[in-house]
């Protein structure tokens, strides 16, 4: 039931209904569950025909940066940058 | 940035894999609560990437798998009535009840429809004013707000022919039930992705504290799961039990407040009879009494006599994390996706279906 693929908002109509694109497939989703403004170009997570939440690309980029550092560290066989950091916690909205 | 492929990057996965193997030095039983995680773990071969000390235990987070026979029999009884259009989400159609399934019933000519979204039920009700449309609502906290939106729209439109059979369940209650079972040994949890989008990550704080189990709320992509496992290994080594929000790109501490308000407006907590776990107090949702006029369990006769579960099938043990699909005598033989005996094989999110699809032996 869970489709975890991020979907890009292509169009929003006056009934709070959006057309989103998921891996090249377009479908309609309701925006009734999202309180904050949604704009064309935003990424949303969808579930059974509803957008559940906007995806914050800032956090996604941050995560990927950390993983990049791990790659570098592991290639150098030294553990430092990620050491002692319990992960990416404390970054809650 | 590619929000999918960047989180499936081989070099990053292998680097974290090395780090986990380096730091993991004692047994760690991690229960992934959600069926979506079970599938990702099997699909991406995560058990082979995390070293010998880590054992994934598959949890009860699959709404179809935990649906008891009594509720399926109720659905079958309602769907068999004259003048009814019965609607639900796809996987429910194949789950065997005591004597038949919704799919077989549909083959016999009853009007039973699998919906892409609950909202489709509105149009069906509007287009068929002479029929009673019954929506069989299933799912954890992820799907409850969508049912709430449907209830709201039904009331606002004044529709008199759309009824709700509510089977929504919650995550924390079964997790506690499993942890209270002394035969279960779980050291840490992968917290669900989408449920947490609605509930917020704070909902797990008391579980982490009460059972001293670290919890990593994780996304579904392999990198998300690897990062979460690394965090749980580090928490084990540091002897901490925090809730780590690995999935901060969509999950926050308090969840989706609008969705939670809608749930509170229309639903209240009730006991629910889980398959494999029995009745768990305060673990399900039902429509509030003031909405009895659209509650299918109130408006129609739902009394059923359900048969006992098949003795050969050990779905109940699997849902408790006490057994793996391979431990079941009928797994992959009599019980397979084309002929599911138990619910864990029926659902696309079930542990048995995941093992059959990605790790079938022989």
pLDDT by 10-residue block (mean), chain B, 362 residues: 91 95 96 93 94 93 90 97 94 88 96 96 98 97 97 98 98 95 93 96 97 97 96 98 96 97 98 92 98 98 90 86 91 90 84 89 52
Assigned domain for B209 exists: no
Residues in CB range of B31: below 8 A, 6 or more apart:
B56, B57, B58, B59, B178, B186, B188, B189, B190, B321
Residue B241 lies in a domain: no
Distance CA B340, CA B31 (A): 24
User: Please, what are the domains in chain A?
Assistant: 7-91 (2.30.30.140)
Residue of chain A with shortest Cα separation from B201? A92
With CA atoms as reference, the chain A residue closest to B114 would be: A48
Please check the confidence at residue A73 and state whether its pLDDT lies above 90: no
Of B15, B63, B250, the CB nearest to A45: B250
The per-residue pLDDT for A3 is 59
Asked whether residue B104 falls in the same domain as residue B143, the answer is yes
B75 with B159, same domain? Answer: yes
Distance from CA of A14 to the nearest CA of B (A): 17
How far is residue B99's CA from residue B109's CA, in Å, rounded to a whole number? Answer: 17
Do B163 and B79 share a structural domain? yes
Q: Looking at beta carbons, which residues of chain B come within 8 Å of A89?
A: 231, 242, 244-245
Is residue B295 located within the same domain as residue B329? no
Residue B195 belongs to a domain = no
Within a domain: residue B218?
no
Residue A36 pLDDT greater than 50, yes or no: yes
Residue B30: how many other CB atoms lie within 10 Å: 27
Chain A residues closer than 8 Å to B250 by CB: 45, 52-56
Residue A71 to residue B36, Cβ atoms within 8 A: no
SS3 assignment, position B45: coil
pLDDT of A32? 96
Cβ–Cβ below 8 Å for A48 and B256: no
- Domain check: are B86 and B111 in the same one? yes
Count CB atoms within 10 A of the CB of residue B357: 13
- Chain B 231-260, residues with CB within 8 Å of chain A CB atoms: 231, 234-235, 238, 240, 242, 244-246, 248-253, 256-259
Name the minimum distance, in Å, from the CA of B227 to any CA of chain A: 8
Do the chains contact at B250 and A53, CB–CB below 8 Å?
Answer: yes
Task: Please determine, for residue A80, whether its predicted confidence score (pLDDT) is greater than 50.
Answer: no
Q: Distance (Å) from the C-alpha of residue B251 to the closest C-alpha of chain A?
A: 8
For residue A73, give how far its alpha carbon lies from the nearest alpha carbon of chain B (Å).
Answer: 8
**B329: containing domain:** 315-356
What is the rounded (10 degree) CA torsion for A24, A52, B277, B220?
50
Tokens of A23: 């891996």
How many structural domains comprise chain B? 2
Does B197 fall in a domain? no
In B, residues 32-71, which contact A (CB 8 Å cutoff)? 34-36, 63
Closest in B1, B145, B246 to A33, CB measured: B145
- To the nearest whole Å, the CA of A38 is away from the closest chain B CA by 14
CA atoms within 13 A of residue B243's CA, in its CB half-sphere: 24
Under the banding of pLDDT at 50, 70 and 90, the label for residue A90 is very low
Q: Clarify whether residues B286 and B324 are in a common domain.
A: no
Nearest to B117 among A4, A50, A89 (CB): A50
pTM above 0.85, yes or no: yes
Q: Count CB pairs under 8 A between chains A and B.
A: 162
Nearest chain B CA: its distance from A51 CA (Å): 10
Chain A residues whose beta carbon lies within 8 Å of the beta carbon of residue B66: none
Assess if residue B179 is contained within a domain: no
Identify whether B13 is part of a domain.
no
Q: What is the pLDDT of residue B308?
A: 85
Which of A8, A34, A36, A48 should be substituted to probe chain B, the one whose Cβ sees the most B Cβ atoms within 10 Å?
A: A48
B275 CB-near residues (< 8 Å, 6+ apart): B65, B66, B67, B68, B69, B309, B315, B316, B319, B343
Verify that B151 and B94 share a domain, yes or no.
Answer: yes
Task: Please state which of the ranges A22-36, A77-91, B27-41, B294-308 shows the lowest mean pLDDT.
Answer: A77-91
Domain with B76 in it: what CATH number? Answer: 3.40.50.11740
Q: Do A30 and B149 touch (CB under 8 A)?
A: yes
Considering only the beta carbons, identify the residue of B3, B63, B256 that sits closest to A53: B256
Q: Count CB neighbours of B325 within 10 A.
A: 24
Residues B130 and B83 both lie in one domain = yes
Residue B162 lies in a domain: yes
């Amino acid at each position: 039931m869970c489709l975890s693929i991020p979907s890009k908002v292509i169009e929003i109509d006056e009934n709070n209904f959006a057309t989103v694109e998921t891996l090249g497939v377009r479908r309609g989703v309701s925006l009734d569950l999202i309180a904050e403004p949604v704009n064309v170009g935003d990424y949303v997570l969808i579930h059974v025909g509803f957008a559940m939440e906007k995806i914050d690309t800032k956090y996604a980029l941050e995560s990927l940066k950390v993983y990049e550092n791990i790659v570098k560290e592991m290639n150098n066989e030294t553990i430092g940058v990620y050491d002692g950091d319990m992960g990416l916690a404390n970054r809650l909205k | 940035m590619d929000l999918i492929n960047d989180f499936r990057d081989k070099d990053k996965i292998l680097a974290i894999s090395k780090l986990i193997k380096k730091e993991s030095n004692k047994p760690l039983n991690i229960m992934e609560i959600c069926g979506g995680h079970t599938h990702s773990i099997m699909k991406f071969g995560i058990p082979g990437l995390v070293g010998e000390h880590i054992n994934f235990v598959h949890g009860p987070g699959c709404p179809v798998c935990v649906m008891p026979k009594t509720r399926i029999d109720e659905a079958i009884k309602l769907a068999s009535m004259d003048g009814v259009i019965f609607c639900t989400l796809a996987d429910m159609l194949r789950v065997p009840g005591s004597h038949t399934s919704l799919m077989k019933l549909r083959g016999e000519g009853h009007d039973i429809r699998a919906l892409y979204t609950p909202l489709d039920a509105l149009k069906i009700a509007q287009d068929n004013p002479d029929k009673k449309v019954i929506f069989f609502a299933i799912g954890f906290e992820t799907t409850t707000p969508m049912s709430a939106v449907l209830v709201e729209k039904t009331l606002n439109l004044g529709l008199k022919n759309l009824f709700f059979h509510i089977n929504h369940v919650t995550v924390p209650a079964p997790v506690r039930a499993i942890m209270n079972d002394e035969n279960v040994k779980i050291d840490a949890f992968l917290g669900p992705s989408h449920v947490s989008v609605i509930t917020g990550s704070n909902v797990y704080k008391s579980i982490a504290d009460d059972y001293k189990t670290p919890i990593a709320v994780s996304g579904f992509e392999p990198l998300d799961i690897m990062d979460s496992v690394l965090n749980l290994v580090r928490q084990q080594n540091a002897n901490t039990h925090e809730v780590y929000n690995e999935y901060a790109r969509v999950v926050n501490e308090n969840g989706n407040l609008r969705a939670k308000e809608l749930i509170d407006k229309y639903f209240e907590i009730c006991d629910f009879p889980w398959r494999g776990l029995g009745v768990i107090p305060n673990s399900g949702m039902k429509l509030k009494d003031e909405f009895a006029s659209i509650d299918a369990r109130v408006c129609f006769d739902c009394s059923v006599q359900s048969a006992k579960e098949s003795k050969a099938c050990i779905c109940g043990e699997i849902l408790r994390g006490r057994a793996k699909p391979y431990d079941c005598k009928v797994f992959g033989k009599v019980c397979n996706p084309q002929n599911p005996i138990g619910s864990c094989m029926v659902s696309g999110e079930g542990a048995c279906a995941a093992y059959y699809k990605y790790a079938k032996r022989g």
